[in-house]
A and B are shown apart, each in its own frame.
Chain A
Amino acid sequence: MPDDVSALQLVLAGDPALIAIVRLSLLVSLSAVFFAALIGVPFGALIALTRFPGREGVIVALNALMGLPPVVVGLAVYLMLSRSGPLGSWGLLFTPQAMIIAQTILVAPIMAALARQTIEDLWVEYRDELTAMNIRPAGRVATLIWDARFSLVTTLLAGFGRAAAEVGAIIIVGGNIDGFTRTMTTAIALETSKGDLSLAVGLGMVLIAIVVAVNALAWGVRRAGERLAG
């Protein structure tokens, strides 16, 4: 398969166009995971620890939002950021920032839903101890997030997996502009449609390698953390 050979050569040669695409992809996906974690994990913890009317409905909605269709999110963000949209004056449409916003919206519910489950399980174990120690609600949230940090690595991985593999939202709000908003997934879609399978296969190999490497790193961090902190 000549395409595979040339794709491998592209990867091994460190093709500048390929590296730029990989760099932007990582920037967008990791930023989205970071912001989604900042929003989703505390929100998930809050739902885990509180009881209020309609809580079950919120949990069901949160779980449902994990399956948000990326193109719908892309369309919604597009409408918000387009010139005639309410946030059009920010001038973010077709920029990496717009892609980060779209992916953050996609990933935050995953973070919140998985963090809620993880933290609620830990809360069942810790509830009596923390109550007996007279720990305030904010302190309980902080304690549970800290003590669940190694379990939450899985949550981060799920979020990263969603962001790294996503194409529908970012192609709408980013526009797939060469050298500016082109990521691995949007480039693969484009190059495949153009028939340039070398670059598409090369990017696919890199994407898979990154996902495997990130998962391996996270697994190592989790195992080391569990060994040190129990």
Chain B
Amino acid sequence: MNMRAPTADLPIIFDDVTVAAGAVTILDRVTLTLASGAPTVLIGPNGSGKTTLLRTAMGLTTPTQGRVTWGAQENCPPTRRAIVFQRPAMLRRSTGGNIRYALRAAGIPRPERKTRMRELLALVGLEHLAGRPARRLSGGEQQRLALARALARDPAVLFLDEPTASLDPAATKAIEDIIRAVGRRGIKIVLSTHDLSEARRLAGEVVLLHRGRIIETGAATAFFNAPQTDEAGKFIAGELLV
């Protein structure tokens, strides 16, 4: 697999970013830097702003206030960024057809597409399902296909929005193994989850969000062993943040 070094889109810098929908503030003056390196895991209860933060980092949601830069550029098209949504939409094509579509969209020359498609299918363990309609795959298989489709863009940074939500343990392990493999290829992973166990397994860096604000951020080991805020302590202890 020809994965390029993560350069162009990183670091992603949120500078005092607010995202509001009408009277509701979804992200509240967020300042954050996402740099290359170990996976960054966004944690927090439902409605804390994790998905909106990922969408804003991807460039799909425009800040109401503040600014986001990608490699010091504003208005940077998402050529080297990719996202896997919590409920990815499957194109009405075969499993292989979905990947071929993403490869074509990424500008991969036609002669290379077949080889790349096979590599991506192998990476996510779906070689045997290449011809099956994507919408007939199981939930876990669809998540893996969405991962392969995102990787077809040869991204420098990959955003994953609750990639294992509602998956069983076996499917969760398969997805997490792929995430680790992708991370080892030098692709920056930014992942959201409300599952603390998953955060412990995958995170190099943790960002705790609550009510649209960043409560605490830091290296995963330090965060889990010595949280600096009451909210983080409660969240780690399994208490409800309301």
Contacts and interface: CB of A to CB of B under 8 A. Distances in A.
Q: Give the interface size bracket for B toward A.
A: 20 to 34
A59 B46 CA distance: 37
Interface in B45-104: 58, 60, 77-79, 82-83, 85, 88-94, 97, 101-102
A230 interface: yes
Contacts of B234: none
A229 interface: yes
B222 interface: no
B91 A131 contact: no
A228 B93 CA distance: 8
A230 B105 contact: no
B136 interface: yes
A126 B87 CA distance: 11
Contacts of B85: 128-129
A229 B60 contact: no
Contacts of B105: 133-135, 139
B134 interface: yes
A129 B92 contact: no
A148 B101 CA distance: 15
Contact of A230 (B79, B90, B102): B90
B79 to A, nearest CB: 6
Contact of A128 (B79, B89, B94): B89
B135 interface: yes
Contact of B92 (A131, A134, A135, A229): A229
B125 interface: no
Chief secondary structure at chain A's binding surface = helix
Contacts of A139: 105
A214 B105 CA distance: 36
Interface in A163-201: none
Interface residues of A, number: 18
B142 to A, nearest CB: 11
B82 A229 contact: no
A229 B94 CA distance: 6
Contact of A126 (B91, B102, B135): B91
Contacts of B93: 147, 229-230
B133 interface: yes
A132 interface: yes
Given A139-B105, A229-B93, A229-B133, A128 B60 contact: yes
Given A134-B78, A147-B93, 10 more contacts: A126-B91, A129-B89, A133-B105, A134-B77, A139-B105, A143-B91, A147-B91, A147-B92, A230-B133, A230-B134
